[in-house]
Amino acid sequence: MTKIPVVQQILSANDAIATENRAALDAAGSLGVNVMASPGAGKTSLILATARRLPAGLRLAVIEGDVAGRIDADTLAAAGVPVVQINTGGGCHLDAPMVRSALPHLLPDGVDLLLVENVGNLICPAEFSLGTHVNLVVASTPEGHDKPYKYPGMFAAADVVALNKADVAAVFDFDFEAFQRGVRMVNPQAPIFVLSCRTGEGLDAWVAWLLAARRAETLRRASG
Asked if 179 and 148 count as a contact pair (C-beta separation under 8 A), the reply is yes
The pTM assigned to this predicted structure is 0.94
Q: Provide the pLDDT confidence category of residue 1 given band limits of 50, 70 and 90.
A: very low
| 115-155: pLDDT as tens digits | 999 999 999 999 999 999 999 999 999 999 999 999 999 99
Q: How confident is the model at residue 7 (pLDDT cuts 50, 70, 90)?
A: low
CB of 88 closer than 8 Å to CB of 62: no
Residue type, 104: P
pLDDT per residue as tens digits for the range 16-67: 999 999 999 999 999 999 999 999 999 999 999 999 999 999 999 999 999 9
Number of structural domains the chain divides into? 1
pLDDT the model gives residue 5: 60
Closest C-alpha to 154, from 41, 62, 66, 71: 41
CB atoms within 10 A of CB 13: 13
DSSP element (H, E) containing 75: helix 71-78
Q: What CATH number did the domain enclosing 18 receive?
A: 3.40.50.300
> Given strand 31-37, what is the order of strands in its sheet?
83-87, 60-66, 113-117, 31-37, 134-140, 160-164, 192-194
Nearest-CA neighbor of 148 among 120, 186, 119, 175? 186
The boundaries of the domain holding residue 196 are 3-222
128 class by beta-carbon count within 10 Å (0-12 exposed, 13-18 middle, 19+ buried): buried
Residue 147's Cβ-count burial label (10 Å; 0-12, 13-18, 19+) is buried
| Number of C-beta neighbours around residue 122 at 10 A | 21
